[in-house]
Structure 1
Amino acid sequence: MSPKPLNNRLNDLTPKEWLKFQKSWFIHNPPRRQKGVLQHPAKFPETLAQEFIEFFTRKGQVVLDPMAGTGSALIGALRSGRHSFGVELNPTYAQIAREVIAQERQRLGENANHLRAEVITGNAVHLPAIIEQHGIPLIDYVLTSPPYWDMLHARGAETQRKRRQTVGLDVFYSQDPEDLGNIADYGLFLKKLCGIYASLKPYLRPGTYLTIIVKNVKKGGKIYPLAWDLARQLGEIYTLKDEKLWLQDNQPLAPYGLGSAWVSNTFHHYCLQFRNE
């Protein structure tokens, strides 16, 4: 007697593919970044975005990234056969995202002709107005990675800043005072960030998942548990379902605090899974 076929209401994966994604940690070493998207100082990989989108949605559904950067989530959605929308504060990154999406459409050909993949230049603080003005349909999945507070301004980021400045790349998201990455007060940053995600609730289908990729932050000799604080506060709006750890094993080690104090090389991110219940 053949086994009963899986009644899969969440995605289009096989049982074997489903099981593989269930591991609570993963190592993802992406291919080299394209020239245009290198301008962004903290981009997450399109290949990673595609894996999450293919687990949490089915073909033809709608994906939103409210802090789209150079369009990683939208590229992942296109490759997966999903509609996608992204909101980006920085006009330069928004334009790069549009150009990268146009190139990806050309590469995919007729397979992507029916898919919407739209980048909107705007402030995520105003998401409800943006969603209504642009006719964004009910959202089936949210995938995003916010600024890790003002980490790009921290002393520990000096080496990376010098390296990027040498080749003419951005070292901060922007100089815009509305940019969350420029807020110096941790409590205010966290409040605004949670407010943005909470404002999405009326526009999400029941059962929609939200994946937020984030990291705890070291600053001034102490750790600010951004991932844990976000999980706790946003867990009052949505149900915190789980976490996956994205581990990076291809980063060079630096001798922080050598001979005097414990300072880790932090090569993991928290992929927090919330559900609209």
Structure 2
Amino acid sequence: MAEVTTSVWATGQRPSRVQRKGRYVPESMRHPGKMLPAIAAQAIEIYTEPGELVVDPMCGIGTTLVEATHLGRHAAGVEYEEKWARLAVANLGHARQQGATGFGRVMAGDSRHIARLLPDLVGRAALVLTSPPYGAATHGHIRSTRDTGEPGVRKWNQRYSADRDNLAHQQLPHLLEGFGRILAGCVELLRPGGVVAITVRPYRVRGELVDLPGHVHRLAEEAGLVFADRIVCLLCGLGDGHLLNRASFFQLHEARKAWARGLPIHAVAHEDLLVLRRPQTPPAPEPHAALTTVRELQ
């Protein structure tokens, strides 16, 4: 078995909003759980060659697809929520206007049936790059008392969806079951030796740490993938001998409250990128469940 390594990527040198400015349509900032463009770009550069195919089964506003097409790769994405899928289409169009040479396509549908949604791509993808949701809502955008001078915290753009069937609304066991089905379908899209790269980090529920990277690692191996690498993708910046904190208001707020209770927890400053490969001779795929209705967006 090949040696497993751990690397560190300095992907947080510029804040997320700076990485996106001008490269994505402004409406993209409404999505509450966007992948960091620098992570997507570096993974695509390392694990693919120009002209190869990159797939994101939970593509959101299309970060994976945009970065792939800017790097001369071709890309396909599936997104459950049509409003985000349409933003992904807009971002791909924006990328073409900026000179991106790759081609991208987006389909609105349920990625738990991804091999049926994209039958023409079975066995063709060099890389699947994606991330699971962390719940129905995230921190989104906030203005605190310090910003407004008024009591309390105002939040907006913090919800993925109002659709209760969206995986983002599911409790952990159902979320993992659904994400496992997505990974199994993605294995069918991969060419032999192709790579699955998943950005994921732990999160807290009522103060308890959920080891989502560990759960996802298990699901990927159950889908027939072989673990190859773990990348530490920094969300903080590296300054002159020190770290530049980019933790959110709520991360810092939760950490301070825990310290006040005597629990020395820290704000997360990185994403794990779990890298796995499809074996050259994978096991036969399981039969598919019934196909849901899909809409391909132009």
TM over 0.5: yes
> Corresponding residue for 2:88?
97
- The one-character-per-residue Cα deviations of 1:165-194 (angstroms, maximum 9, x if unpaired) are 958x521110112211111x2112111111
CA contact (8 A) 2:75 2:104 kept: yes
> Corresponding residue for 2:121?
136
Give the Cα separation in 2 of the matches to 1:190 and 1:66: 15
Q: Specify the SS of the correspondent of 2:228.
A: strand
> Corresponding residue for 1:33?
20
Give the Cα separation in 2 of the matches to 1:245 and 1:40: 24
Residue 58 of structure 1 deviates from its aligned partner by: 0.8
Residue 145 of structure 1 deviates from its aligned partner by: 1.2
Query: RMSD value over aligned CA atoms?
Result: 2.2
CA contact (8 A) 1:256 1:264 kept: no
Question: Which of 220, 232, 239 pairs up with 2:226?
Answer: 239
> Which stretches in structure 1 are left out of the alignment for 5+ residues?
1-21
Q: Specify the SS of the correspondent of 1:102.
A: helix
> Corresponding residue for 1:195?
181
> Corresponding residue for 1:118?
105
Give the Cα separation in 2 of the matches to 1:71 and 1:201: 20
Q: What letter is aligned with 1:67?
A: M
Q: Specify the SS of the correspondent of 1:257.
A: helix
Residue 162 of structure 1 deviates from its aligned partner by: 4.6
Alignment coverage as a number of residue pairs: 242
> Which stretches in structure 2 are left out of the alignment for 5+ residues?
145-152, 237-244, 280-298
Residue 28 of structure 1 deviates from its aligned partner by: 1.5
Residue 23 of structure 1 deviates from its aligned partner by: 6.6
Residue 229 of structure 1 deviates from its aligned partner by: 1.4
Q: What letter is aligned with 1:275?
A: R
Give the Cα separation in 1 of the matches to 2:221 and 2:112: 19
> Corresponding residue for 2:164?
177
CA contact (8 A) 2:61 2:87 kept: yes
Normalised to the residue count of structure 1, the TM-score between the two structures is 0.80
Q: What letter is aligned with 2:137?
A: L
CA contact (8 A) 1:27 1:247 kept: yes
Q: Of the two structures, which has the highest relative contact order with CA contacts closer than 8 Å and spacing of 6 or more?
A: 2
Residue 232 of structure 1 deviates from its aligned partner by: 2.0
> Corresponding residue for 2:258?
257
> Corresponding residue for 1:8?
none
Residue 256 of structure 1 deviates from its aligned partner by: 3.0
Normalised to the residue count of structure 2, the TM-score between the two structures is 0.75
- The one-character-per-residue Cα deviations of 1:24-74 (angstroms, maximum 9, x if unpaired) are 112222424342210100111223211111110111110000000111011
Give the Cα separation in 2 of the matches to 1:218 and 1:72: 25
Q: Specify the SS of the correspondent of 2:257.
A: coil
Give % identity: 26
Q: What letter is aligned with 1:143?
A: L
Residue 268 of structure 1 deviates from its aligned partner by: 1.7
Give the Cα separation in 1 of the matches to 2:87 and 2:136: 23
> Corresponding residue for 1:7?
none
CA contact (8 A) 1:28 1:248 kept: yes
CA contact (8 A) 2:6 2:232 kept: no
Q: What letter is aligned with 1:223?
A: L
Give the Cα separation in 2 of the matches to 1:247 and 1:62: 26
CA contact (8 A) 1:26 1:245 kept: yes
Q: What letter is aligned with 1:28?
A: T
Q: Specify the SS of the correspondent of 2:188.
A: helix
Q: Specify the SS of the correspondent of 2:92.
A: helix
Is 2:7 the partner of 1:24? yes
